[in-house]
Amino acid sequence: MKDFSYVNAADTETALAALRTHGTQLLAGGTELLNWLKEGIEAPEQLVDITGLPLAGIAPGPHGQLRIGALARMSDVAAHPTVVREHPALAESLLLSASAQLRNMATIGGNLQQRTRCPYFRAETALPCNKRDPGSGCAALESGDTAEQAVFGWTPDCVATHPSDLAVALAALDATVLLRGPGGDRRVPADTFHLTPEQAPPERHTVLAVDELITGIELPGGGSGRLSHYLKLRRRSSYEFALVSAAAVVELTGGPRGAEIVSARIALGGVAHRPWRLTAAEEALRGLAADDLPALRAAVAASFTDARPLPDNAYKIELAQRAAVRALRNAVRRRPARPEAEGSPR
Ligand X SMILES: Cc1cc2nc3c(=O)[nH]c(=O)nc-3n(C[C@H](O)[C@H](O)[C@H](O)COP(=O)(O)OP(=O)(O)OC[C@H]3O[C@@H](n4cnc5c(N)ncnc54)[C@H](O)[C@@H]3O)c2cc1C
- Interface with ligand X (CB under 6 A): 25-33, 70, 97-98, 102, 105-107, 109-111, 113-114, 163-166, 213-214, 241
Residue 140 near ligand SF4 by CB under 6 A: yes
Of these, 139, 168, 242, 324, which contacts ligand SF4 (CB under 6 A)? 139
Distance CA 90, CA 220 (A): 13
Residue 53 near ligand SF4 by CB under 6 A: no
Stretch that binds ligand SF4, among 1-9, 94-102, 134-142, 331-339 (CB under 6 A): 134-142
Residue 121 near ligand SF4 by CB under 6 A: yes
Asked if residue 69 lies in contact with residue 55, where contact means CB atoms within 8 angstroms, the answer is yes
CB atoms within 10 A of CB 57: 11
Task: Please measure the distance between the N-terminal and C-terminal CA atoms of the chain and give it in whole angstroms.
Answer: 70
Q: Tell the smallest beta-carbon distance from residue 5 to ligand SF4 (Å).
A: 29
Of these, 25, 114, 116, 196, which contacts ligand SF4 (CB under 6 A)? 116
Site string for ligand SF4, 11-40 (x = CB under 6 A): ------------------------------
Distance CA 346, CA 340 (A): 9
Q: Tell the smallest beta-carbon distance from residue 268 to ligand X (Å).
A: 14
> Which residue's Cβ lies closest to ligand X?
110
Of these, 58, 66, 68, 118, which contacts ligand SF4 (CB under 6 A)? 118
* CB closer to ligand SF4, 120 vs 152: 120
Q: Tell the smallest beta-carbon distance from residue 41 to ligand SF4 (Å).
A: 11
What residue ranges bind ligand SF4 (CB under 6 A)? 116, 118, 120-121, 129-131, 138-140, 158-160, 202
